[in-house]
């Protein structure tokens, strides 16, 4: 059991965290500019990631998934029924329109989260919470999440600091709205290298924005020796990059170097690295950059879809096929961009289309180096639904229209 509820709950939900104290007494001061940026972004009217500030809402259509959300709803209600601590009940369930649904951070929390740490539930409560979460992933996706949670604890073992967050269950769980098959609801899991924003509307399910990663993606020693993750995301990106011709590389590679000194400041910071669509970027305006897929050979299109499938395979059957069709329908409008050598580590890639935003980054080694240059074992991944699809907003909009009455 950590000390978070006894210490961190001294601050009101939503207030800036003045300092994050670990068991070893080390304090990380929270930059005020980052607090202000995240608070403003989470409370701003939602638009979504677009090329020009005007979302193409027509790209999102509620099509049948062939799955029922009833098992997920039942698991969520069973979990909520098990949470009998009055203070935990006050934290764990928030209104669907709470601004905390868009307040997430892929590191130590900067603003006091609304939910409760998985670590601080009883084993029985945590088991029920994980059952609900697992039903929203494929077996492969859930296994990756559990590996990510253990990679966090393995990293804590190695660095022997930040033990309040570098452990397996160091993530806050919050439910938004009332779990139901008749009305929209959501849950969020927020912790170091884990940000999952799951929204369920009828038989529609979205897990995006979805941030997953690891400070050390391959553990060689200690009690977690042999544990690893994100090799598929890396290998598929390298395979596509290696297929590009010299002429294609000229368009696809935005910057040939990954070193901080060789990049613009906005692509070289310790917080986001090269990521543009991370925390606080719900309304990012970003024109298409890189190489358009419309000129790909059949083999290259296959490699691109194999790369996309690595991310889609995190989703359960039915939702996965629906999400893939959304991407295939706009394949001719899809762009691929790299930073660094696309055929060698470290590197970064972005896949952007009207219906998908995927970023992969070899991030700086924050716990091991202060040069802010990327290292090949610190990996961040992001998957989002541009044009207003994130947080299931497109599904909620359609549901509200269909249930607005005469």
Answer for the pair 148, 214: CB distance below 8 angstroms, yes or no: yes
User: Which tens digit of pLDDT belongs to each residue from 99-126?
Assistant: 999 999 988 778 878 899 999 999 999 9
Answer for the pair 255, 342: CB distance below 8 angstroms, yes or no: no
- The HSE-up count of residue 184 (CA atoms within 13 Å, CB side) is 22
Answer for the pair 291, 56: CB distance below 8 angstroms, yes or no: no
Report the mean per-residue pLDDT for the chain: 90
User: Which tens digit of pLDDT belongs to each residue from 116-157?
Assistant: 999 999 999 999 999 999 999 999 999 999 999 999 999 888
Q: What is the pLDDT of residue 79?
A: 98
Task: List b or e across 308-323, with b for residues whose CB sees 16 or more CB atoms inside 10 angstroms.
Answer: bebbbbbbbeebbebb
Partners of 255 in the beta sheet?
A: 339
Q: What is the pLDDT of residue 19?
A: 46
Q: What is the pLDDT of residue 62?
A: 87
**Both structure tokens of 151:** 């990679």
User: Which tens digit of pLDDT belongs to each residue from 21-72?
Assistant: 333 333 456 677 888 888 999 999 999 999 999 999 999 988 889 999 999 9
- Please state, as a whole number, how many other Cβ atoms lie within 10 Å of the Cβ of residue 203: 19
User: Which DSSP category does 386 fall into?
Assistant: T
Phi, psi of 380 (to 5 degrees): -120, 140
Distance CA 163, CA 82 (A): 27
Q: What is the pLDDT of residue 11?
A: 53
Residue among 186, 59, 181, 57 at smallest CA distance from 115? 186
Q: What is the pLDDT of residue 372?
A: 79
User: Which tens digit of pLDDT belongs to each residue from 163-175?
Assistant: 666 789 989 999 9
Q: Where are the domains of the chain?
A: 15-31+64-218, 231-392
pLDDT: which is higher, 370 or 73: 73
Question: Going by C-beta distance under 8 Å and a sequence separation of 6 or more, which residues neighbour residue 198?
Answer: 133, 136, 186, 187, 188, 205, 206, 207
For residue 188, the surrounding DSSP H or E stretch is strand 185-191
Please give the average per-residue pLDDT across 372-393, as a whole number: 95
Q: Is the pTM of this model over 0.85?
A: yes
Whether the pLDDT of residue 5 is over 70: the answer is: no
Whether the pLDDT of residue 13 is over 90: the answer is: no
Residue among 294, 275, 369, 383 at smallest CA distance from 336? 294
pLDDT: which is higher, 4 or 396: 396
Distance CA 394, CA 400 (A): 10
Q: What is the pLDDT of residue 25?
A: 36
């Amino acid at each position: 059991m950590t000390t978070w509820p006894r210490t961190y709950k001294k601050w009101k939900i939503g207030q800036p965290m003045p300092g994050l104290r670990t068991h070893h007494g080390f304090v990380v001061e929270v930059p005020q500019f980052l607090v202000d940026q995240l608070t403003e972004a989470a409370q701003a009217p939602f638009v979504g990631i677009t090329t020009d500030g005007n979302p193409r809402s027509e790209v999102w259509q509620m099509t049948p998934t062939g799955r029922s959300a009833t098992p997920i709803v039942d698991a969520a209600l069973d979990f909520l029924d098990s949470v009998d601590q009055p203070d935990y009940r006050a934290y764990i369930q928030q209104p669907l329109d709470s601004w905390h649904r868009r307040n997430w951070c892929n590191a130590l929390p900067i603003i006091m989260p609304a939910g409760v740490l998985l670590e601080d539930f009883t084993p029985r409560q945590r088991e029920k919470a994980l059952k609900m979460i697992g039903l929203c992933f494929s077996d492969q996706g859930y296994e990756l999440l559990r590996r990510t949670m253990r990679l966090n604890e393995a990293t804590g073992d190695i660095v022997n600091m930040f033990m309040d967050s570098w452990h397996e269950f160091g993530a806050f769980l919050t439910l938004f709205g009332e779990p139901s098959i008749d009305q929209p609801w959501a849950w969020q899991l927020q912790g170091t290298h884990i940000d999952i924003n799951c929204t369920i509307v009828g038989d529609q399910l979205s897990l995006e924005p979805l941030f997953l990663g690891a400070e050390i993606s391959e553990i060689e020693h200690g009690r977690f020796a042999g544990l690893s993750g994100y090799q598929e995301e890396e290998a598929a990106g390298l395979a596509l990059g290696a297929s590009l011709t010299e002429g294609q590389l000229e368009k696809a590679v935005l910057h040939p170097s990954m070193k901080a000194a060789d990049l613009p400041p906005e692509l070289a910071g310790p917080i986001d690295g090269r990521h543009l669509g991370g925390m606080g970027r719900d309304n990012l305006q970003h024109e298409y950059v890189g190489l358009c897929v419309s000129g790909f050979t059949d083999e290259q299109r296959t490699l691109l879809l194999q790369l996309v499938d690595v991310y889609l395979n995190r989703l359960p059957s039915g939702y996965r096929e629906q999400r893939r069709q959304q991407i295939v329908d706009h394949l001719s409008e899809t762009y691929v961009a790299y930073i660094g050598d696309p055929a060698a580590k470290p590197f970064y890639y972005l896949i952007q289309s009207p219906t998908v935003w995927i970023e992969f980054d070899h991030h700086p080694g924050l716990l091991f180096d202060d040069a802010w240059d990327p290292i090949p074992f610190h990996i961040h991944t992001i998957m989002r639904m541009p044009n207003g699809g994130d947080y299931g907003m497109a599904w909620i909009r359609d549901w509200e229209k269909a249930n607005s009455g005469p």
